[in-house]
Chains A and B, each alone.
Chain A
């Protein structure tokens, strides 16, 4: 079982640019969530996708958008990057429909640096 995989591992972007991060969920999981973790803080929920739709959203601006594909993989897009967007971006997968409960498994994260 490959677990949750994210790409790329590290990324450096310039202010104002756009970035796309990718996530493949754990085998058998159908739900993908994205979190932002600033240095020294706990992860903050961005949004969650199930059945290719955004089901829940945290307190993040519209510059943050996402997508889920039929194979359950997901992308996180951030437009008009700000210095404050520098963080570790985490993808979590879970299996809500099949009765897996609330437990979520995380990938290794993508470290985004905005300069």
Chain B
């Protein structure tokens, strides 16, 4: 079993829809949770960064972390065609050695006109 599970999709929604992307994980030691957006053949771009449980909002994006269920979500409101990309969840526990990130496989999202 992978440490981080993420539905690969593809997920196709109409423009303006609310998108919900999710990841589950098995390692209860993870403390920091991130969402990255990756366009085709580009490097991942950091969208949201949260510590421990709770919600964080940034514009059209909301990240939720439920550590008791080992479940994290990213919501995108008023989705746009420019949001079409692969969304990667990542998580880590800070140790004296560093911040190794463990990623999900990514969910491919297409927002259609």
Contact = CB atoms under 8 A, between A and B. Distances in A.
Interface residues on A, range: 20 to 34
A55 to B, nearest CB: 5
Interface in A95-115: 96, 101-109, 111
Interface stretch (A13-21, A36-44, A62-70): A36-44
A92 interface: yes
A50 interface: yes
B97 A56 contact: yes
A50 B94 CA distance: 14
Contacts of B100: 33, 45, 48, 56, 58
Interface residues on B, range: 20 to 34
A40 B41 contact: no
A40 B99 contact: no
A41 B6 CA distance: 11
Nearest to B88: A42
Interface centre among A44, A96, A101, A102 (most CB of B within 10 A): A102
Contacts of A86: none
Given A31-B98, A41-B105, 6 more contacts: A33-B99, A33-B101, A35-B101, A41-B106, A104-B46, A105-B46
